Amino acid sequence: MTEGEGVVETGRMRRPEPDAPRRYQDVPAIRATGLHKSYPDVDAVRGVDLTVEQGETFGLLGPNGAGKSTIIAMLCTLAVPTAGRIEVAGHDARTAPGRVRRSLGIVFQESTLDGELTAAENLRFHADLYALPRAGLAARIEAMLDLAGLAARRDHLVRTFSGGMRRRLEIARGLLHRPRVLFLDEPTIGLDPQARDRLWAHLREVRERETTTLFLTTHYLDEAERCDRVAIVDEGRIVARGAPAELKSALAADRIDLRTGDDVAAAAALRERFGIEAVAGPRGLRVQAENGASLVPRLCSGLDVPVHEVTVTRPSLDEVFLHHTGRHIRDEPGGGH
Amino acid sequence: MAGGAAPSTAYGCGLAAELRAARMVWQREMLHFLRDRIGTLVSLLQSLMSLFILGVGMGGLFAGSGVGSASDYLTFLFPGVLVLAAQPATVAVGASIVWDREDGFLREMLVAPVHRATLLIGRCLGGMTVATCQGLVILAGAGLLHIPYRPGIFGLLTAELALTSLTLTVLATTIAVFVRRPRTLTAVLGVLMAPLLFLSGTMFPISALPGWLSLLSRLDPLTYAVDAMRRTVGVDRLVHGRAMLTAPVTWGGLRPAPPVELAVVAAFTMIALVVAARRFSRLG
C-alpha cells in the first residue's frame, strides 16, 4: 500500500489532496518483475520485467502468440501469474486486485460494448460497475461522450455505430473512472487508414486532457513510433526495448513498388531527379523511401513514363523483429496494410 | 482534468458498491427485455398457444376418456402454463452469458472491481423479473379458468412464479458458465429443459408416470414448484373429476406441505447458484 492510497481508502472525499498526484509520481504506473505464465502445454510468458512510468505512452510489440495477450491479461488481473509480481500504481495485483482494477482502464482488441444499449447507457453501466460517486457523474459522462465526439449520438444504440465510433466510445469508457493506466490492445486493428489516423489524433487529445498513462500493443511500427517507449516481445520474452528512435535505427524504410510503361527510363529518371536508386524486379521497380505515401504524388508527376500501378508497403514489425531475432514473424494477421 | 465538477478518486466500496453493480446488471436485462418487443411478443404467443392448443387438445382427449371434463384439465394445466410462459425468458437470460462472451461484453464485467457472484446474482434476478412479467400476462387470464381473482391467491402465485423463474434462470446460468460455445449451450439446454418440464407434472399428473420415472420427477425441482402452485390455485376444489389430476406429490406416504415444497425449490436454487458463482469466479 502506498501513501496515496489513503485518498482512495477514505472513500467519501470529494477531491484528492492537492499533492496526491505528485506523490503518485514516485510510483511507476506499472511494475512487473519476473513474470512467468505456464499453461499445461505451453510456457506463454517466460520471465518478463516491465516498468512503465506515470504519464508515458508505452508500446508492446510482438507477433501473435508472442505472449502479449497473456501479459496484458496478467496486468489486468484476468490471469494469475505462475511466478512474478505485478504492481499497478503501487497496488499489488495479487493482494489488492480490486484496487488494481480500479487503477486500470481497458480497451480490448475486440469490442466489449453492449450493442443493445445506447452510448450513454454503456458509460452509465461502467460507472455503476466501478461505483463511481454519483456527484458529478452525469457531467463526467457528458465530458467523456464529448471527448469521444459522440455527444450527438449519446442516445443511439451502439449497434448502429461504426468501428471507429465504437473504439472511441470504448476509450471514453475506459477513461470514465480516471484510471492511472489505460490499456489499449491493438487499438487500431480492423479500422481503415482514415479511422486509424483519427483514432491516433484522438489518443493525442486523450493524453492532453486526461493525465493517464497509455499502455498499448500493436503490430505496426509507425504506431509504435508514437510511443515514448517500446518493448518487443517474442516467445514470452522481451527481446528489445527502448525509445522508438533507438529501435528505428534498425528499421527499414517504406517500400514502393512501381509498374511503369518503361522501367529502364523510369529507373534513370528516379536516379537523376530524386536521387533514389531503384531495383528492377520481375514485377517492376522497387524503391526504398522514408515516407513512401507522400513521395508517390511527386514520383508520379516527376516521371515522364506512364505509371500503371504504385504500391506502398509500410515498414512492418517484421523487419525490426527480423533484426532482433533473426527470424520473421510467423503469420502476422492482417499483414500488409 | 476533463469535464466540469470532477468526481475525483473517491469511490463507493463494500456492500453498497456490490448492490449498485448488481442493480445495474439487473437493469441491463430489463433494458434488453423492453427493447426486444418482438421477442417478448413471440414468447407470449408461444405460451398462449401452449395453453390453448395443448389445453384444448389434451383436455378433449381427457374428457373423451371419461375421467373428467375438459375444463378440469385446463384448470389443472394452468400453473404449468405459467411455468411454460416463464421458461423461454429464463433460458434466454441464462444463455446470454455465452452471448455476452461472444460479443465481448462479458470481459467488461469480468475486469470490473466487483465480485463475480454479484454479477451473476444481478443477472439471475433480471431473468427472474423478465420471466415473471411474461408469466403475469398469462396469470391475468386466470379468471377464464374459473380461478377466483383473490389478492391472496394472486400474490402467492406471483411469488411462486418468481421463485420458479429464478430457479430456471439459475439453472440455465449454471449450465451457461460451464459451456463456451453458444451452439453447444442451445443443444444442452434443449436436452435438459424438456425432461425438466415434462417430468415436473406441468402437462400431466406425475401419478401417470411409471415408478422409475416418477422417482426421477421427484428429483426435479419444478415438480415441487408446480405442485405448490397447483395447491395455491386450489385444484382440489376446482377439479371435480376423478382424483388423478389432484393426486399430490408424495415422498413415500408423506405429503410435503407447500412451504416445504418451496423450501426444496429455494434450496436447490441456492446450491445451483453457489456452483455457478464458483465456476464464474474462475473465468479469465
Which CB contacts under 8 angstroms, 24+ apart, belong to B259-267? Answer: B261/B224, B261/B225, B261/B227, B261/B228, B262/B160, B262/B163, B262/B224, B262/B225, B262/B228, B264/B221, B264/B224, B265/B163, B265/B164, B265/B167, B265/B221, B265/B224, B265/B225, B265/B228, B266/B163
Q: Read off the DSSP letter of residue A80.
A: -
A181 in a structural domain: yes
Q: Provide φ and ψ at B275, rounded to 5°.
A: -60, -50
Interchain pair B24, A129: CB under 8 A:
yes
Reduced 3-state DSSP string for B159-173: HHHHHHHHHHHHHHH
State the complex-level ipTM.
Answer: 0.84
The total domain count for chain A is 2
Which residues, at least 6 apart from A141, have a Cβ–Cβ distance to it below 8 Å?
A: A120, A123, A124, A127, A176
pLDDT band for B252, please (50, 70, 90 cuts). Answer: confident
Higher pLDDT, B136 or B59: B136
At A312 the three-state DSSP class reads: strand
3-state helix, strand, coil in chain B (%, to 5): 80, 0, 20
**By residue range, what is the domain housing residue A127?**
25-248
A235 in a structural domain: yes
Beta bridge partners of A48: A35
* A90 in the same domain as A192: yes
Q: Read off the DSSP letter of residue A314.
A: P
Residue A107: per-residue pLDDT? 92
Task: Compute the distance between CA of residue B88 and CA of residue B47 in angstroms, rounded to an integer.
Answer: 9
What number is the average pLDDT over the span A148-175? 93
Task: Considering only the beta carbons, identify the residue of A124, A136, A177 that sits closest to B5.
Answer: A136
Cβ-based contacts of B123 with chain A (< 8 Å): none
Question: The domain spanning residue A298 has which CATH number?
Answer: 3.30.70
**Which residue of chain B has the CA closest to A174?**
B108
Task: Considering only the beta carbons, identify the residue of A116, A132, A177 that sits closest to B35.
Answer: A116
Q: For the sheet with A279-281, list strands across it.
A: A279-281, A284-289, A254-260, A307-313
Q: Yes or no: say if A31 and A89 are a contact pair by the CB < 8 Å rule.
A: no
* A274 in the same domain as A205: no
Residue A63: per-residue pLDDT? 76
Interchain pair A8, B9: CB under 8 A:
yes
In this structure, what C-alpha cell is assigned to residue A303?
516521371
At A89 the three-state DSSP class reads: coil
* A92 in the same domain as A225: yes
Q: Which of A248, A276, A303 is the last residue of a domain?
A: A248
Which segment, A41-45, A82-86, A311-315, A323-327, is predicted with the most confidence on average?
A: A82-86
Minimum mean pLDDT range among A254-258, A276-280, B67-71: B67-71
pLDDT at A25 over 70: no
* A182 in the same domain as A63: yes
Residue A17: per-residue pLDDT? 41
Question: The domain spanning residue A163 has which CATH number?
Answer: 3.40.50.300
* A186 in the same domain as A105: yes
Residue with the three cell numbers 452525469: A138
Average pLDDT of the residues of chain A: 82
What number is the average pLDDT over the span B53-75? 79
In this structure, what C-alpha cell is assigned to residue A300?
508520379
pLDDT tens digits for range A120-155: 999 999 999 999 999 999 999 999 999 888 999 999
Interchain pair A135, B7: CB under 8 A:
yes
Q: Which of A204, A225, A248 is the last residue of a domain?
A: A248
In this structure, what C-alpha cell is assigned to residue B100?
455476452
